């Protein structure tokens, strides 16, 4: 019995060390990138004639809604430090820099009657600097920072947003489309609508469950589609670029894979989360997922809303107009959740009605050995990335996928070996999916540098570069992960044995920074040590049996 157990353990350890020491290569044309977003890094919140965004408004008027009561007024000061940013992008050996344009920096009130020359110049300079070094700009037209004036009209819940977004998009496509060849219209629609309108996690922080999030999603999908049709009709041929959308998603792992109810809960949650925005655009027939339409219609009726579902309906013409409006499938994904069905008569603490009650599952991240991170919601489950990619491949008929965000947070430090492990593990899972036929063409790590992390303020760090938020220049220093990621991009391969120590530049920088920035455990090394130790222990035990 013991001998058998030890044999298994030896095999496991051998398997682990062979996996961890091997070098695995990506396809030769694989695209590597790094990402950021305007509100999180730019600062200059009222520089020149920039208008107020919903994030300026929220953080200034309701600082209590932000964990550390901070704001993005200055943050990493990329409005002034953009040359250094481009230098960092070059140091990483990536071919692509993904960043976003701030709508109120370009159109201070959201409308075309006031166009900011300073805002245009800022982005134009950034794009030129990237091109000078052969780095491809990948530009997000909207990454959450809506002009506050438009929020006063109801933001994404008002259909008026559709022509306004189209005007703004036309302007930036005209201004930058000669130099920018990859566009995404909107970043993370689920977060915009569910976290902005249903619950109070993101600006505009409505906390109005069950109704406006669905109006937001409805208008957002139409606005996205209009911009893509405009690009295809007026710009694409002449400018030769591509356009798509980036949806956010997490893998929804059934709590118990042998329980059909949990499997169904997993599938339903995938449809409600990813499918809400992906099904209308990427599925064969378009429209919202069937399960979403039926459940919300049934629940609306039970709740006394009558025959009109809280989920708005598309006309047949709208379904056709939205379907197919993305040249690639952009996904942001960080973690997984465990799901099981919600008891039919139990709201699981969710208000009725609400989006979460409509989904009808209980979300959890406990009871599995997924390592934690600097964010409460983010547990490390690389296998979840594999399942997610396979699910998208099956569900949407093998689309071309670009992972537009993936990364992990911690609470600070230059010796960020946990982040190194995360990248190696998640990229291995991506490679497993590619080897199993999933069409993943690129990977953009999140994030270039420590940033203003929305509701979490400055507590959670996602950067490959550390930013000293106390220094006037917002000094940037590469973390260990920056050197490892640069090596991955340069060699087009994951090399588990590449785990550099802090170099002279990093040690000098660390000496100037608070203590949190220095030592951290090297967790992969810890794992192989504990593997060896437990093996020795078991051998000893076995001798006594």
Ligand X SMILES: *[C@@H]1O[C@H](CO)[C@@H](O)[C@H](O)[C@H]1NC(C)=O
- Tokens found for residue 49: 């004639």
| Residue 278: CB minimum distance to ligand X, A | 19
Spatial strand order of the sheet with 251-254 comes to 251-254, 336-341, 361-364
Residues 6 or more apart whose Cβ sits within 8 Å of residue 114: 49, 107, 108
**The tokens of 60 are what?**
């200034």
CB of 277 to ligand X, least distance (A): 19
128 binds ligand X (CB under 6 A): no
User: Is 405 in the active site?
Assistant: yes
Pick one of 128, 167, 294, 364: the residue that binds ligand X (CB under 6 A): 294
Query: Which residue carries 């309701």 as its tokens?
Result: 62
Per-residue 3-state assignment (H helix, E strand, C coil) for 13-31: HHHHHHHHHCEEECCCCCE
Q: Contacting ligand X (CB under 6 A), which of 291, 362, 444, 480?
A: 291
Stretch that binds ligand X, among 292-300, 396-404, 417-425, 529-537 (CB under 6 A): 292-300
Nearer to ligand X, 291 or 482 (CB): 291
CB of 342 to ligand X, least distance (A): 13
DSSP string covering 173-196, please? HHHHTTT--EEEEEE-HHIIIIII
* Dist. CA 437–CA 440, nearest whole Å: 9
Nearest CA-CA partner of 527 in 11, 3, 16: 16
Residue among 272 and 458 whose Cβ is closer to ligand X: 272
Using CB under 6 A, which residues numbered 334 to 373 contact ligand X? 345
- Of residues 199 through 218, those in contact with ligand X by CB under 6 A are none
Based on the shown chain and the rule CB under 6 A, indicate whether residue 225 belongs to the binding site for ligand X.
no
Choice among 52, 253, 405, 460 that is catalytic: 405
Stretch that binds ligand X, among 210-218, 291-299, 403-411, 462-470 (CB under 6 A): 291-299
Find, among 298, 255, 248, the residue nearest to 276 by Cα.
248
Nearer to ligand X, 258 or 345 (CB): 345
298 binds ligand X (CB under 6 A): yes
Nearer to ligand X, 300 or 333 (CB): 300
Give the sign of the dihedral formed by CA 510, CA 80, CA 166, CA 401: negative
**Least spacing, CB of residue 273 vs ligand X, in Å:** 16
Question: Given candidates 149, 295, 321, 476, which one binds ligand X under the rule CB under 6 A?
Answer: 295
Tell me which stretch binds ligand X (CB under 6 A): 166-174, 271-279, 288-296, 433-441. Answer: 288-296
Nearest of 155, 134, 331, 131 to residue 244 by alpha carbon: 331
Task: For residues 531 and 17, give the distance between their C-alpha atoms in angstroms, rounded to a whole number.
Answer: 10
Nearer to ligand X, 174 or 343 (CB): 343
- Integer Cα distance of 195 and 31 in angstroms: 30
Kindly state the smallest distance separating residue 295's Cβ from ligand X, in Å: 4
Q: How many residues bind ligand X (CB under 6 A)?
A: 5
DSSP 8-class letter at 66: S
Q: Give the shortest CB-197-to-ligand X separation in angstroms.
A: 23
Helices and strands: H and E segment counts in the chain: 21, 15
Shortest Å, Cβ 323 to ligand X: 22
DSSP 410: B
Only segment of 8-16, 88-96, 287-295, 419-427 that touches ligand X (CB under 6 A):
287-295
Distance CA 290, CA 7 (A): 49
Q: 294 or 313: whose CB is closer to ligand X?
A: 294
| Binding region for ligand X (CB under 6 A) out of 76-84, 290-298, 332-340, 434-442 | 290-298
Residue positions annotated with a catalytic role = 405
Residue ranges in contact with ligand X by CB under 6 A: 291, 294-295, 298, 345
């Amino acid at each position: 019995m013991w001998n058998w157990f030890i044999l298994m353990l030896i095999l496991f350890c051998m398997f682990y060390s062979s996996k961890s020491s091997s070098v695995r290569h990506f396809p030769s044309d694989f695209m590597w990138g790094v990402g950021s977003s305007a509100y999180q890094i730019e600062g200059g919140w009222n520089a020149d004639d920039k208008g107020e965004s919903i994030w300026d408004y929220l953080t200034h008027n309701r600082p209590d809604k932000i964990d550390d009561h901070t704001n993005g007024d200055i943050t990493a000061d990329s409005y002034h430090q953009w040359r250094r940013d481009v230098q960092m992008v070059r140091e990483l050996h990536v071919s692509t820099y993904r960043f976003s344009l701030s709508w109120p920096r370009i159109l201070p009130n959201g409308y075309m009657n006031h166009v900011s020359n300073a805002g245009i110049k800022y982005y134009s300079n950034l794009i030129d600097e990237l091109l000078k070094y052969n780095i491809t700009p990948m530009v997000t037209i909207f990454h959450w920072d809506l002009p506050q004036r438009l929020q006063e009209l109801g933001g994404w819940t008002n259909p008026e947003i559709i022509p306004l977004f189209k005007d703004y998009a036309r302007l930036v496509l005209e201004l930058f489309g000669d130099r920018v060849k990859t566009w995404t219209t909107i970043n993370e629609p689920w977060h915009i609508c569910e976290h902005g309108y249903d619950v109070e996690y993101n600006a505009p922080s409505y906390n109005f469950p069950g109704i406006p999030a669905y109006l937001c999603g409805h208008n957002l999908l139409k606005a996205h589609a209009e911009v893509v049709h405009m690009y295809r009709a007026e710009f694409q041929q002449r400018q030769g670029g591509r356009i798509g959308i980036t949806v956010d998603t997490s893998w929804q792992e059934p709590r118990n894979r042998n329980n059909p109810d949990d499997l169904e809960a997993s599938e339903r949650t995938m449809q409600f989360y990813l499918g809400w925005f992906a099904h209308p655009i990427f599925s064969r027939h378009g429209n919202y997922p069937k399960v979403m339409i039926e459940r919300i219609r049934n629940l609306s009726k039970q709740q006394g809303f009558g025959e009109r579902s809280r989920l708005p309906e598309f006309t047949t013409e709208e379904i056709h107009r939205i379907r197919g409006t993305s040249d690639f499938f952009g996904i942001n994904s960080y973690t997984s959740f465990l799901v099981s069905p919600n008891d039919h008569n139990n709201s699981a603490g969710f208000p009725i009605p609400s989006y979460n009650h409509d989904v009808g599952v209980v979300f959890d991240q406990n009871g599995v050995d997924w390592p934690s991170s600097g964010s409460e919601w983010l547990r490390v489950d690389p296998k979840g990335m594999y399942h997610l990619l396979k699910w998208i491949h099956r569900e949407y008929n093998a689309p071309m996928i670009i992972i537009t965000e993936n990364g992990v947070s911690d609470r600070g430090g230059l010796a960020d070996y946990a982040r190194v492990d995360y990248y190696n593990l998640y990229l291995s899972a991506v490679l497993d999916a590619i080897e199993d036929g999933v069409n993943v063409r690129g990977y953009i790590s999140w994030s270039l540098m420590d940033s203003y992390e929305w509701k979490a303020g400055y507590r959670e760090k996602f950067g490959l570069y550390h930013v000293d938020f106390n220094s006037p220049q917002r000094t940037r220093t590469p973390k260990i992960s920056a050197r490892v990621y640069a090596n991955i991009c340069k060699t087009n391969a994951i090399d588990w044995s590449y785990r550099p120590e802090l170099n002279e530049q990093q040690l000098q920088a660390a000496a100037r920074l608070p203590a949190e920035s220095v030592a951290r455990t090297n967790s992969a090394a810890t794992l192989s040590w504990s593997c060896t130790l437990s093996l020795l222990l078991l051998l000893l035990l076995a001798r006594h049996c």
